[in-house]
Amino acid sequence: MTKSIRFNGIGITNGKVSGRIKLFGSSKRKIINSRTGSALDEKARLEIARKAAIKETKALEEKALKLLGEKEAQIFEIHGMLLEDEDFLDAVLEEIDKGKSAEEAVRQTAKSYGEMLKALDDEYLSARSADINDISAQIIRFLTGDVAENEENDTEPYILVASDLTPSETVKLETSKILGFVTFGGTPSSHTAILARAMGIPALVGTGTIGSIYDGEYALLNSEKGTLIISPTENEKREFEKEQSAYNKIAKEHEMYLRSIMKKPAVTRSGHKIMIYANIGSEQEIASAISNGAEGIGLLRSEFLYLSKDKYPSEDELFSAYRDIAIKMQGKRVVIRTLDIGADKQIPYFSLPKEENPALGYRAIRICLDRHELFKTQLRAILRASAYGRISIMLPMIISAEEIREAKSLLRDSMAELSTRGQEFDAKIELGIMIETPSAAIMSDILAKEVDFFSVGTNDLTQYTLAVDRQNPKVTHLCERNTEPVMRLIKIASEAIHHKGGWIGVCGEMAADLSLTQQFANIGIDELSVSVPYLLGVRGKVSECK
Ligand code: PEP
Ligand code: MG
């Protein structure tokens, strides 16, 4: 039995699953394990594929040199050298002599080389292990020719492994087939992680590169421990199964307890009531939000509807989606956040300019206040849907009262347009803003005069307060250790909006952090809005608070 391969990352949802790995973006190739031809035939096939790979790499190197520069082209130079490496080639030939097919021999050799290099615990050599994986996948691609399986042909559920997924790629995934989720990059507050959380599936981010050579391998994903074990030994499998059944038993008991308190309001022991709302991205999540006791929708990330399309949705399309959500929520509050695109949420048909610092750039309300028709189309759709339920409008990324006033002026224009058309809407629709920037929190006494409510987006508020990129796994730990500055800003905002008679919620990922629930209660937070799988846990925690 060969040694298993272990990757460590940050677990973002609890759970343990096992299954085959599917590398996102790499169409699965059929690897022929038992060969049909002689060793000589296999060696000849290997030579043709290797030569083709060398030629391709040379072309890529030249292209990279022309388009990107010397440094970027260097990687292909290294690949070229590895493809010519005699030791590697001899090892593959040896495997063929042992009876393996050419592709299986390449795969096996790459695996052994990768393990050996990884075990040396040297950053440079570890990186070479990723290169070995790359060139092996390249040779295998030439060996297997065009036998790529169609993604839709996957019938078995799998553990999805990806370098990183953009939010638009994530929303297009066929989630019913995904057992678990692993990304090389990403952080707990990146949108990929948020979506994984919403799906309620075990997930791991920030594992570092996992070579394409592992595509199709059996693996154990433990998001509690933050590990992915590829090709586990029998012992590891047994151990995992034991842990898995113990975990499932506890999780089931805990859920039964939480379900027993589901109907009770979430009130602290000192009598402070906190509304428990759900964060959702689409209508499909409503049924599970309700069955998990959501008292409302605290954040509808409305951009996801745009992300899943190839062109701008029309007012009617948006209206019918919002109306359906309002109707399904049966009079419970639905907070629709207006378009928050830009930064990591890019939509091709928006053709947003490439920016040096997208998180500080042209995004969210900044785009909407610049592109009036885009914004008013969404506002009219929300207003029309407000005739069917209890809808609130929430503006993201606000930094000043001026922005709110501009947005309100466009809202008034949209209302006037609907009145001219004779269409109904709630003229007293509630308007709120997200507190996502230090500026919004510091100026909250002024901003509170303009709106009915605040909802704190702790993901961005943390990023901008601590100057910690929410997409960068190297600095994530700084967020866990430094919640206090963010809490202080939330307290300022809470006092400001309460002084004016409004309400305040928290809808960033911190809302689901049970170690902070007591602090939220202490500063008078009125509502906590979390992904569906966290609804019951947060409700239970509030009732345990002082
Ligand atoms: C936030 O920033 O905390 C938030 C809820 O918005 P998003 O995660 O979509 O940026
Ligand atoms: Mg945000």
Parse the chain into domains and list their residue ranges. 5-25+150-233, 39-144, 261-544
Q: Which helix (H) or strand (E) holds 286?
A: helix 286-291
Is the pLDDT at 33 greater than 80, yes or no?
Answer: no
Q: Give me 294's structure tokens.
A: 């959501």
Cα–ligand 2 centroid distance for 261 (angstroms)? 31
Residue 443's pLDDT is 98
Of ligand 1's listed atoms, the one at least distance from the Cα of 189 is 8
Residue-wise pLDDT tens digits, 389-401: 999 999 999 999 9
Inter-helix orientation angle 458-466/484-499, to 10°: 120
- The residues annotated with a catalytic role in the active site are 191, 507
> Average model confidence (pLDDT) for the chain?
89
Residue 91: CB partners within 8 Å, gap ≥ 6?
109, 112, 113
Which one of the ligands is nearest to 279 CA?
1
Q: Cα separation of 47 and 391, whole Å?
A: 65
DSSP 394: E
What is the band of 29 on the pLDDT scale with cuts at 50, 70, 90? Answer: very low
Nearest C-alpha to atom 1 of ligand 1 is from which residue? 457
Scan for tokens 């091709």, then name that residue. 348
Q: Best substitution site from 171, 507, 516, 520 to test ligand 1's pocket, by max atoms within 8 Å of Cβ?
A: 507
Residue-wise pLDDT tens digits, 429-469: 999 999 999 999 999 999 999 999 999 999 999 999 999 99
Which pairs from 272-275 meet CB under 8 Å and 24+ separation? 272/521, 272/524, 272/545, 273/526, 274/520, 274/521, 274/525, 274/526, 274/527, 274/528, 274/542, 275/505, 275/526, 275/527, 275/528
End-to-end CA distance of the chain: 54
Cross-strand bridge partners of residue 356: none
Collapsing DSSP states into helix, strand and coil, what is residue 12?
A: strand
**Which residues have C-beta atoms less than 6 Å from ligand 1?**
194, 299, 301, 340, 436, 457-460, 507-508
Q: Best substitution site from 280, 344, 394, 459 to test ligand 1's pocket, by max atoms within 8 Å of Cβ?
A: 459
Whether 39-144 and 5-25+150-233 are alike in CATH topology: the answer is no
pTM value surpassing 0.75: no
Of ligand 1's listed atoms, the one at least distance from the Cα of 456 is 3
Closest to 374 in 3D by CA, of 389, 362, 388, 390: 362
What is the band of 35 on the pLDDT scale with cuts at 50, 70, 90? Answer: low
Residue-wise pLDDT tens digits, 192-202: 788 778 878 89
CATH topology classification for 39-144: Enzyme I; Chain A, domain 2 (1.10.274)
Is the pLDDT at 175 greater than 90, yes or no?
Answer: no
Which one of the ligands is nearest to 505 CA?
1
CB 211 within 8 A of CB 130: yes
Which one of the ligands is nearest to 167 CA?
1
Question: β-strands 297-301, 275-280: how paired?
Answer: parallel
CATH topology classification for 5-25+150-233: Glucose Oxidase; domain 1 (3.50.30)
Closest to 353 in 3D by CA, of 369, 365, 361: 361
What superfamily would CATH give domain 261-544?
A: Phosphoenolpyruvate-binding domains (3.20.20.60)
